[in-house]
Amino acid sequence: MTLDDATVSALAERLENAELNRAPITKITDEFPGLDWDDAYAIQGEIRTRKVSRGVKVAGLKAGLTSQAKMKQMNVSEPVFGFMCDYGSRADGGEVEIDGFIAPRVEAEIAFVTKADIKGPCHIGTVLQATDFVLPAVEILDSRYENFKFDLISVVADNTSAAGFVTGGNSRRVADIDLRTLGIVLEKNGEIVELAAGAAVLGHPAESIVMLANMLARKGEIIPAGTFIMTGGVTAAVGVERGDHIAVRYQHLGSVSMRFV
């Protein structure tokens, strides 16, 4: 950790204002090149504290950069973790107002809901046993950095570009389906633009929750029962513009769609 509390607060405020005013900023590592992981998660934690103190509810947790497609697209090599807010939720099949974002992108994910606490260090068996059900989810990403130019430290501080999410389709028990071979097709305006299988995320999307639990354990935290967790984009993220229709079809889990207006 290199920053003092006052600087963590100032950077959290700068990033949250960029989100709330949809006014992108230069990446924070330009000004503080020596920032480390602890600094980045401290800034993200401070953004969360600010939101919660204003009455925002944390809707769930997320892992990101968990697939080769995403790591390649973002030119990074390690997963990152963030949180989702209640106000980021959008209805399946509904309209999403594009003016609520700076430069939104969408990506297909597999989400888990837990039924027991998960305490790291743990393994995939712990996660599968603690999973109530899985469901399809589309994340709406929006970097608060200009031209989404960022590095891992900056993106963690910016709550991993979290901006919105749409869940839908059917929920299923993990024991009933093979999440590794589950096919996912992302269509934009009726054309297939991305496709993948669940194994794109760390070999099995539950591995992403293992990594999240292990990261939280280092801070003395757990994943509580009843947590909604997005395990990371299986495909590269796709930019969207006003008028675009997105539909993601999941084998066994139905589909999720939205139109940007």
Contact with Mg ion (CB under 5 A): which of 24, 60, 64, 169? 64
Token look-up 């280092």 returns 218
| Region 136-175 residues binding ligand OOG, contact defined as CB under 6 A | 139, 141, 143, 155, 160-161
- Among ligand OOG, Mg ion, none, the one that 19 touches (CB under a kind-dependent 5 to 8 A) is none
CA–CA separation, 208 vs 202, rounded Å? 7
Closest by CA to 248, choosing from 155, 154, 169, is 169
Phi, psi of 93 (to 5 degrees): 80, 5
Q: Which is nearer to ligand OOG, 213 or 237 (CB)?
A: 237
| Region 56-115 residues binding ligand OOG, contact defined as CB under 6 A | 62, 64-65, 70, 74, 107
Q: Which residues pair with 95 in a beta bridge?
A: 259
- Expressed in percent and rounded to 5, the helix, strand and coil fractions of the chain are 35, 30, 35
- Among Mg ion, ligand OOG, none, the one that 169 touches (CB under a kind-dependent 5 to 8 A) is none
CA–CA separation, 164 vs 68, rounded Å? 22
Q: Which is nearer to ligand OOG, 70 or 117 (CB)?
A: 70
Asked if 131 and 114 count as a contact pair (C-beta separation under 8 A), the reply is: yes
The footprint of Mg ion (CB under 5 A) covers 64, 139, 233
The footprint of ligand OOG (CB under 6 A) covers 62, 64-65, 70, 74, 107, 139, 141, 143, 155, 160-161, 232-233, 237
